[in-house]
A and B are shown apart, each in its own frame.
Chain A
């Protein structure tokens, strides 16, 4: 098994290296097109890489404890699915899995109907792939074995560390960290990785355009679907992470500006900006330079994000700890940056496209504002992450920024962004249309003002929450009004709607973001909680709810942990509405327990309960109960964002033009 895994991995990297050398020699001969043999080699490389990945999975499922990685993430009683997915449960495995993802993406890009790789873009893709493959092969090898020395010492290494050492399979595995045993955490990494990896293709193609000195008209059409899919997966990945921390970490938090969260948000911000400004280039033939910068920057930020996650430079719940791959990763990030800056500088004149705006209220201007805010947010996130690293280099002792930095600096920008999204449907390509559309906004505006009064008297007095609520209400009502305006003949309306699905898709995405903002207001401003110790029969009130404690149960069904559960009855307005079972899983072997919250989820919000403490002997429990209104709109909003992006993606790039021509003047009904 070890031989099969390691050799196929090494051979896969070798095949890729040969393909790279061939490509370079072709490029010397001014042959930009990829030859058959290069594609074949890349296919072979992908096949072997996959074989190697499957071997590692098999070793995990078969519990081959001579493998050091298997020892660190597997134990005999884990369910088979978790044994397989533990590939991305630890440092070495997840790095290996990432390199496989890059190979997968390369494979797809070589085999989609319109093959978009040429020699130069292949060069960039392969270099990145080989870099991460080499890190995995030479620094963090997942096939590393456990050795028993003659001195009875145990060492880890790919090859025998000393004469007389034998492979040792006697350590039984420790098992995957219990916190990661949640289906959100099982699918979060691959989705996020795939999203990250997909950005490599547009990056390579943009680099190829720059080298070939092409003006870059075709770039966006070629890469739009890649960018959109990457963006969708990245969105899903980030939201899943957030949902996991709400659902598992127990304190009901959904976002903590943890360095790794922040790092994964940066490529999302830059690619979101890109999805906007590429429309400007399409429609108005402006902002071409900006688009090139964003495509290149997004992938560089992906590598930076991996650096932050893997290198353990910053304290974080995600980081696997300090490691020897931080130096190569830092160098890689820097060299990608330098290469891109050089390429852009070289072709800067060629990329000139002008940036004249029609006016300050038309759609092109709105896109510009959006991007200014998105870039500002990117700067805030990057600055916040880089600050401790930079001060560390210059002053020796580390000075960092705490969470309040991100809260204070990012909140106003996010509110501005939400406000822009709310008024976005009012923007059109010409001043005339804007004026016309403005009239349509009157009813939603009046309604939101009235509702704002309702919020003030019944929901919250916080001006911050109120302003967000206003923006959200207005934005959603406006989109609804404009969508329903021409519903006299449903068939025609549906046809028109489908014809403009790129625009409606974008509105869905915006509505999704506004719903997420609603969820955030719920969590930050409207949440209420209480904790108390109860004996059976006791009731604890929270708002219109009451929690009654029935009994404490203990179960030994799972071989790995003991389950302790409090049986609670949830009352609302004097009626029983639900039964809740918050509990703890006690992993005695690890000396660790994991809290398992339980909640009643409705559209109104969550009633969230957590078992803080208990005594089986005395029969009491301490429960924390929280009322989290509106929280589920975060997940609904995320779903809407994804659906909207997919809807927009079904619109071919060529027809996008028609969709946006003077929509205000001709297409919107009077």
Chain B
């Protein structure tokens, strides 16, 4: 009994090891194919040659006037303007809502055209924060595979917290 148990355990250890190695291989393989670079609009444009075709996740503020949507074909294009990627910087500038409002009104900031095929999200509107995943094509248009939108509550920005606290 004792020895057969030990034998079973040896087999178990081998099995678990094999599974462990398989898991690591799976992780490495999928990491490679799904690596995504988190960039801002200006970072993406400055390294344009480099980044074309790469899997990128980018965030920017939606410019309402530029939204063009054809519900027949579900072709959606719009422009986003640069917003900083660093939470710390955003906080110093007065919070996300302030950053979005300023960035949408500032024509000097770098902008990029986004193309997306799919149902126009409810939250896609002026001054919303768009988070897009996809890649830059040869024409400098960002081909988005995924589109996520966030609208910070205006009231939160209307109520700055106590200074120095």
Interface set of A (CB-CB < 8 Å, partner B): 68, 71-72, 146, 154-157, 161, 171, 173-174, 177, 179, 250-251, 312, 315, 317, 321-322, 355-360, 365, 368, 372, 376, 379-380, 383, 387-388, 397-405, 408-409, 412, 531-533, 591-595, 610, 612-613, 622, 624
Q: A157-B162, A612-B71, A622-B72 are in contact. Are A592 and B122 (CB under 8 A)?
A: yes
The A interface, classified by DSSP as helix, strand, loop or mixed, is mixed
Whether A317 contacts B150 by the Cβ 8 Å rule is yes
Contacts of A317 in B (CB 8 A): 148, 150
B59 to chain A, nearest CB (A): 7
A200 to chain B, nearest CB (A): 29
A-B contact list, 12 entries, CB within 8 Å: A155-B162, A157-B161, A321-B152, A357-B8, A365-B12, A380-B23, A397-B38, A400-B38, A401-B36, A408-B29, A409-B26, A613-B69
Among B96, B119, B159, B163, the residue within 8 A (CB) of A68 is B159
B111 contact set on A, CB distance < 8 A = none
Assess whether A250 is in contact with B152, with CB atoms less than 8 Å apart. Answer: no
Whether A155 contacts B31 by the Cβ 8 Å rule is no
Q: Are B161 and A401 in contact (CB under 8 A)?
A: no
State in angstroms the CA–CA spacing of A552 and B156 once bound together.
37
- A387 to B6: give the CA distance in the assembly, Å: 38
A357 and B5 contacting across the interface, CB-CB below 8 Å: yes
- Residues of A near B12 (CB, < 8 A) are 357, 360, 365, 368
Assembly CA distance A399 to B38 (angstroms) = 6
Q: Is A156 touching B122 in the complex (CB atoms < 8 A)?
A: no
Residues A379 and B23 in contact in the complex (CB < 8 Å), given A372-B16, A403-B146:
yes
Asked if A412 contacts B96 (CB within 8 A), the reply is no
Query: Contacts A593-B122, A624-B119 hold; do A71 and B71 have CB atoms under 8 A apart?
Result: no
Which residues of chain A are near B27, meaning CB under 8 Å? 379-380, 383, 409
Interface status of B109 (Cβ within 8 A of chain A): no
Contact, CB under 8 Å: B9 / A376: no
Residues of A near B5 (CB, < 8 A) are 356-358
Q: Which of B33-75 contact A (CB under 8 A)?
A: 33-39, 43, 55, 57, 59, 69, 71-72, 74
Complex contact B90–A315 (CB within 8 A)? no
* Interface presence of B102 (CB below 8 A): no
Query: How long is the Cα–Cα vector from A322 to B160 in the complex, in angstroms?
Result: 14
Q: A360-B12, A592-B122 are in contact. Are A156 and B160 (CB under 8 A)?
A: yes
With A71-B159, A154-B159, A357-B8 in contact, is A592–B123 under 8 Å at CB?
yes
Q: Give the CA-CA distance A610 to B19 in the complex, in Å.
A: 44
Q: Are A533 and B35 in contact (CB under 8 A)?
A: no
A356 touches B8 (CB 8 A): yes
Which residues in A have their C-beta under 8 angstroms from that of B34? 401-405, 408
| Distance, CA A624 to CA B16, complexed state (A) | 48
CA–CA, A532 to B2, complex, Å?
71
Residue B133 at the chain A interface, CB threshold 8 Å: yes
User: Are the C-beta atoms of A322 and B74 separated by less than 8 Å?
Assistant: no
**A-side contacts of B152, CB under 8 Å:** 321
Knowing A357-B5, A400-B38, A408-B34, say if A156 contacts B162 (CB, 8 Å). Answer: yes
> Quick one: closest B residue to A405, CB to CB?
B34
4 nearest A-B residue pairs (beta carbon): A613-B71, A405-B34, A398-B38, A622-B71
Shortest CB distance A496–B (Å): 31
Distance between A464 CB and nearest chain B CB, rounded to angstroms:
16
Q: How far is the CB of A158 from chain B (nearest CB, A)?
A: 8
Closest A residue, CB atoms, query B6? A356
Asked if A376 and B163 make an inter-chain contact with CB atoms under 8 angstroms apart, the answer reads no
The CA-CA distance from A397 to B38 in the complex, in Å, is: 7
- Chain B residues contacting A593 (CB-CB under 8 Å) are 122
Give CA–CA (A594, B125) in the complex, Å.
Answer: 13
B8 touches A404 (CB 8 A): no
The 8 Å CB contact of A412, one of B26, B154, B159, is B26
Measured CB to CB, the closest approach of chain A to B104, in angstroms, equals 13
- Are A250 and B38 neighbours in the complex by a CB distance under 8 Å? no
Which residues in A have their C-beta under 8 angstroms from that of B23?
A: 376, 379-380
Closest to A319 in B: B150
Residue of B nearest to A157 (CB): B162
Q: How far is the CA of A590 from the CA of B89 in the complex (A)?
A: 27
CB atoms of B8 and A533 under 8 A apart: no
**CB-defined contacts of B154 to chain A, threshold 8 Å:** 174
Known: A68-B159, A317-B148, A379-B27. 11 other contacts (CB 8 A): A157-B162, A171-B158, A380-B27, A388-B38, A397-B39, A400-B35, A408-B29, A592-B123, A592-B125, A612-B74, A613-B69
- Chain A nearest Cβ from B6, distance in angstroms: 8
Bound CA–CA A154/B160 (angstroms)? 7
Task: Pick from A383, A412, A594, A613: contact of B122, CB below 8 A.
Answer: A594
- Most chain B CB within a 10 A radius of its CB, from A358, A360, A399: A399
Q: How far in angstroms is the closest Cβ of chain A from B91?
A: 7
Chain A residue at smallest Cβ distance from B134: A402
Cβ B36 vs Cβ A400 within 8 A: yes
CB neighbours (8 Å) of B30 from chain A are: 401, 404-405, 408-409
**Within 8 Å of chain A (Cβ to Cβ): is B112?**
no
Closest B residue, CB atoms, query A178: B122
Contact at B71–A592, with CB atoms within 8 Å? no
Cβ-closest chain B residue relative to A72: B155
Could you say which of B15, B26, B39, B91 contacts A322, with CB atoms under 8 Å apart? B91
List A contacts of B98 (CB < 8 A). none
Q: How far is the CA of A359 from the CA of B6 in the complex (A)?
A: 10
CB pair B31–A372 under 8 Å, yes or no, is: no
Q: State the Cβ distance, A169 to closest chain B Cβ, in Å.
A: 13
Please state if B159 and A399 are interface contacts (CB–CB under 8 Å). no
Choose one: A157, A401, A412; the contact of B35 (CB below 8 Å): A401
Q: Which chain B residue has the least Cβ–Cβ distance from A147? A: B162
B64 nearest CB neighbor, chain A only: A591
Q: How far is the CB of B129 from chain A (nearest CB, A)?
A: 9
Residues of A within 8 A of B155 (CB): 71-72, 171, 173-174
Q: Answer whether A161 and B119 are a contact pair too, CB < 8 Å, given A322-B90, A359-B8.
A: no
Closest to B22 in A: A376
* CA gap between A397 and B54 in the complex, in Å: 15
A171 contact set on B, CB distance < 8 A = 155, 158
B72 near A532: Cβ-Cβ < 8 Å: yes
